[in-house]
A and B are shown apart, each in its own frame.
Chain A
């Protein structure tokens, strides 16, 4: 079973993303901030993390760096999930260390297609 952690502070997006992941047969858990994300990662082994960028407290980029700098978690793929849809943003997020980038509002077909390759 593929375990996915969703870090997202908007309840609307959280509900949608958890629902899609559930439909895809993934096991998904959701947290709304960086501190909970780090705590959760310590207690559970995830196969994939979906990370919102604009979050209260630490932003998604910082949380991603903290996780990637930790030998225990550095192999977990992290996908940026963000409303920034400017040209070149994808490159910027990849350069920051993210494994992929999906812009919001999510396109269902694109989203499921892109997540398929992380299925365990």
Chain B
């Protein structure tokens, strides 16, 4: 998961933070430490902390604190005096925690230091630190929940809110246990109390799999890793959560909404299926009949839309599994292969005695085979793609038919978002040779995403021929908001990492085509071109 790591967070906070190895060598020194003590990062990294900032009479105290934190004690609120670069004493409040790397291995300890001469009134300092925390959480792309020592939620990131389908307001001030199924609450509370009392938890620093509860009460498998933090005199917990994705296949539309980066408006219930749209008053036969006809067509399309959604999930999972598999293969094969090749080269040097002609021949063969395997791994590395397993079934498709089909599939969604769908298909453009299901999925993904972004606006699709190529464009009136962050419309498809785009791009490429985004009168236009007559191929 990209985003803020623990170390990044440490470099942002206004508390001075200094991390040292077990040998007292400084390996992390944040900006606030620089402000407090006067030394710059490059003046201290690699040096011993005791030799720099700790007066001789305080050395024993420092050693004792470090021993205590290693034995699992929480060290916080220790008042002491160390030295600044000018040799002046500074009155400090220390907390100490174990320093861990991203894999949670202990790599030393970290001092969190506040200036004890702080003149700011406590309340003001508190507000400031909360604002800082809030800003930090907003910029995180990880699903984080921060809670105080009583387990009351202080702040959540947008990604966490999306996973849990709560808003920030819903969660703030609530006990952490609201996101945990009732049957786990008792053991959760015991766990939290033990953690506060002892600073130890069975699950701290480890990734554990359990269940989470969304706002609507539905449960989903969840991965959680918990950390304890000491800031000044305060203790708080951070929980990083990750949804285990496979379970989302059955949930209607959740595949797409899970990936939305910013807090999306909660979906309204469907106008057609919501119970309160069927009042108890008597219906006329005609209206009843028309309702039933309408219902059955909606049910048909809804089922089809769900099928397409799970197709998306299947492609994404295949892609993820395969790319992880290839990464592991290349990592685990490279070292032993390098060793095989290297030892062959050593043997060929005959430093340790001559070789028979046959022996030399055999070693040559081993060497060549090893080399060809490395080349193969390099190739895998270059095209780490999961689309390998997805094969196209080509056939003649009526362009107007497939676009109408997509309109039907998205009618309900367009209604929910109050989006007008329009199309412009060149009359001469009749047939295209493509995989029907996947071409449908490309339209469905692009238009579906455009609708999501364009509430109250419009989505327009055009289709025309250009010599031997088909040219399709989708324009969403609200899409223009996406690339503001990156100021470059041409990289939206790659940089935004929106799964509908990623999957569409793959499918277009499999058809031997290409897809790009461009600016059109302030709107974003996504266009894909593919051969009208296509040869069967995979990526």
Is there contact, CB below 8 Å, between B21 and A38?
yes
Residues of B within 8 A of A105 (CB): 334, 337-339, 341-342, 374
What is the interface of chain B, defined by CB distance below 8 A to chain A? Answer: 21-23, 25, 27, 42, 45-47, 101, 103, 105, 107, 334-339, 341-343, 345-346, 349, 351, 374
Q: How far is the CA of A106 from the CA of B107 in the complex (A)?
A: 30
Cα distance A1–B397 in the bound complex, in angstroms: 76
* Chain A residues near B334 (CB-CB < 8 A): 83, 104-105
C-alpha gap A69/B52 in the complex (Å): 14
Size bracket, chain A contacts: 20 to 34
Known: A58-B107, A105-B337, A108-B349. A65 touches B45 (CB 8 A): yes
Tell me if A117 counts as interface (CB < 8 A to partner B). Answer: no
Q: Pick from A15, A23, A68, A83: contact of B339, CB below 8 A.
A: A15
The answer to whether B27 and A108 touch across the interface, beta carbons within 8 angstroms, is no
Q: Which of B103, B338, B374 contacts A13 (CB 8 A)?
A: B338
- Neighbour of B346 across the interface among A20, A34, A62, A107, CB < 8 A: A20
How many angstroms from the CA of A83 to the CA of B351 in the assembled complex?
27
Instruction: For the complex, give the distance between the alpha carbons of A65 and B528 in Å.
Output: 48
Contact of A13 with B339 in the complex, beta carbons under 8 Å:
yes
Q: Is A94 an interface residue (CB 8 A)?
A: no
A-B contact pairs, 7 of them (CB 8 A): A16-B343, A39-B23, A66-B21, A70-B25, A106-B342, A107-B345, A108-B345
- Check A31 for interface membership: any CB of B closer than 8 A: no
Q: Counting CB contacts under 8 A, is A19 at the interface? A: yes
Q: Give the CA-CA distance A65 to B27 in the complex, in Å.
A: 9
Contacts of A67 in B (CB 8 A): 46
A56-B105, A57-B107, A58-B107 known; A69 and B349 CB under 8 Å? Answer: no
Nearest neighbor of B42 in chain A, beta-carbon distance: A69
The 3 closest A-B pairs by CB, nearest first: A69-B46, A105-B338, A12-B339
Other A-B contacts than A20-B342, A38-B23, A56-B105, 6 sampled, CB-CB below 8 A, are A66-B25, A70-B25, A104-B338, A105-B337, A105-B339, A108-B342
Give CA–CA (A109, B344) in the complex, Å: 12
A10 near B335 (CB under 8 angstroms)? yes
A66 to B351 CA separation, bound complex (whole angstroms): 37
A interface with B by C-beta (< 8 Å): 10, 12-13, 15-16, 19-20, 23, 34-35, 38-39, 56-58, 62, 65-70, 83, 104-109
Q: A10-B335, A69-B46 are in contact. Are A19 and B23 (CB under 8 A)?
A: no
Question: Is A66 a contact partner of B22 (Cβ separation < 8 A)?
Answer: no
Q: Which chain B residues border A107 with CB–CB below 8 Å?
A: 345
Q: A13-B338, A35-B22 are in contact. Are A58 and B101 (CB under 8 A)?
A: yes
Chain A interface main SS type: helix
CB atoms of A69 and B45 under 8 A apart: yes
Given A58-B27, A66-B45, A16 and B101 touching (CB < 8 A)?
no
- Asked whether, in the complex, the Cβ of B27 is within 8 Å of the Cβ of A66, the reply is yes
Residues from chain A with a CB closer than 8 A to the CB of B46 are 65-70
A13 near B335 with CB under 8 A, answer: yes
Closest to B44 in A: A69
Known: A66-B27, A69-B46. A57 touches B346 (CB 8 A): no
Q: Which residue of chain A lies nearest to B43 when distances are taken between CB atoms in the complex?
A: A69
B residues less than 8 Å from A10 (CB atoms): 335
B45 surroundings in chain A (CB, below 8 A): 65-66, 69
CA distance A34 to B23 in the complex (A): 12
| A51→B374 CA distance, assembly (Å) | 22
> Which of chain B's residues has its CB closest to A17's CB?
B342
With known contacts A70-B46, A108-B349, A16–B107 Cβ distance under 8 A? no
Report the minimal beta-carbon distance from B111 to chain A, rounded to whole angstroms: 17
Is the Cβ of A16 less than 8 Å from the Cβ of B339? yes
How far, in angstroms, from A16 to B334 measured CA to CA in the complex? 13
Least CB distance, B286 to chain A, in whole angstroms: 69
Residue of B nearest to A39 (CB): B23
Chain A residues contacting B107 (CB-CB under 8 Å) are: 34-35, 57-58
CB of A113 to closest CB in B, whole Å: 13
Which residue in A16, A20, A62, A83 is a CB contact (below 8 Å) of B27?
A62
CA distance A16 to B345 in the complex (A): 10
Q: Are A12 and B27 in contact (CB under 8 A)?
A: no
